[in-house]
A and B are shown apart, each in its own frame.
Chain A
Amino acid sequence: MMLSYFIAIGFGLLAIGVAGVAASRHFIIMMLAIEIALSAGIVVAAAGFAFSSGNGNIIGLLFTIWAIASAEIMGMVAIYRYMVAHGISMDVRELSKQRD
């Protein structure tokens, strides 16, 4: 029964993250929403591992997720710095006008 709870928590956080990407139009907030979805993935993966009698190796998968999350944040900060330096709005609707 506990496994169901943890999977439900993971699905709930994943839903908030995915809905956040869809409902927001601020660049930084969208990136934070993706981070929340990655945290949900960590919870679901760890719950599956903990309740599968220790079969398999979870550490590689979790390090992959952590590496993706860290790389995403570093890329986000780099793009943010570029946008600030060039006076580009954080509104993603404005990004499509940048080429014109």
Chain B
Amino acid sequence: MLAILVLGVSVIVAVVAALSVFRAKEMSHAMVGFLFVSVSTAALLALLGLPLLALLQLFIMVGGVSTYLFVGVSSENLSRFRHTSFPVLFILAICLAVVPVYKVLAAGTASPVTGALGSATIAAGISGNLALFYMLGVLLFGIGIASIVMMRSFRKGGRK
């Protein structure tokens, strides 16, 4: 019961903090959001029965990375432009999350099986879902190439 409660609180904190990173106008607030994402990730690791990794996560991500980030980027105060389109973020995040999450939750991953990764035992819901990630990777690669091509044409247009 306590584990479910901690899991729920960690998930809510992680998702709200991750979304607050994109809502924050002040850069230090965005970094506080990222810090809370790291803390809730450490809580999830502790919940999985990996306390050493949870401690390492706290030391590295919260103690090291977030502190360095605070010190290094503290001079950037208020964003002078509207940096994130929140509706686009919301719709895109839902579209990206719903399909794999639905497949994993619907697969019933109680029994691990030997999957496509050699001798590694992975759950059936994940191995059947790898194709989606390949598709996402190919899509992002295509977007990257397209953005380079568009940037080149933009430069050419700008020089005329």
Q: Compute how far the CA of A84 lies from the CA of B121 in the bound complex, rounded to whole angstroms.
A: 48
Set of chain B residues within 8 Å of A81, measured between Cβ atoms = 72
B105 touches A39 (CB 8 A): no
B104 touches A4 (CB 8 A): yes
Q: Compute how far the CA of A33 lies from the CA of B21 in the bound complex, rounded to whole angstroms.
A: 8
Q: Compute how far the CA of A97 lies from the CA of B159 in the bound complex, rounded to whole angstroms.
A: 10
> Number of A-B pairs whose CB atoms are under 8 Å?
195
A77-B72, A80-B73 as given contacts; A70 in contact with B44, CB under 8 Å: no
A51-B112, A53-B121 as given contacts; A15 in contact with B53, CB under 8 Å: no
Chain B contact residues, majority secondary structure: helix
How many residues of chain B get a CB closer than 8 Å to chain A's CBs?
Answer: 72
Q: Compute how far the CA of A39 lies from the CA of B104 in the bound complex, rounded to whole angstroms.
A: 19
A69 touches B45 (CB 8 A): no
Partner of B83 from A29, A80, A100 at Cβ < 8 Å? A29
Q: Compute how far the CA of A89 lies from the CA of B79 in the bound complex, rounded to whole angstroms.
A: 10
Q: Which residues of B contact A (CB under 8 A)?
A: 7, 11, 14-15, 18-19, 21-22, 27, 30-31, 33-34, 37-38, 41, 44-45, 48-50, 53, 56-57, 60-61, 64-65, 68-69, 72-73, 75-76, 79-81, 83-86, 88-90, 92-94, 96-97, 100-101, 104-105, 107-110, 112, 119-123, 125-126, 136, 140, 151, 154-155, 158-159
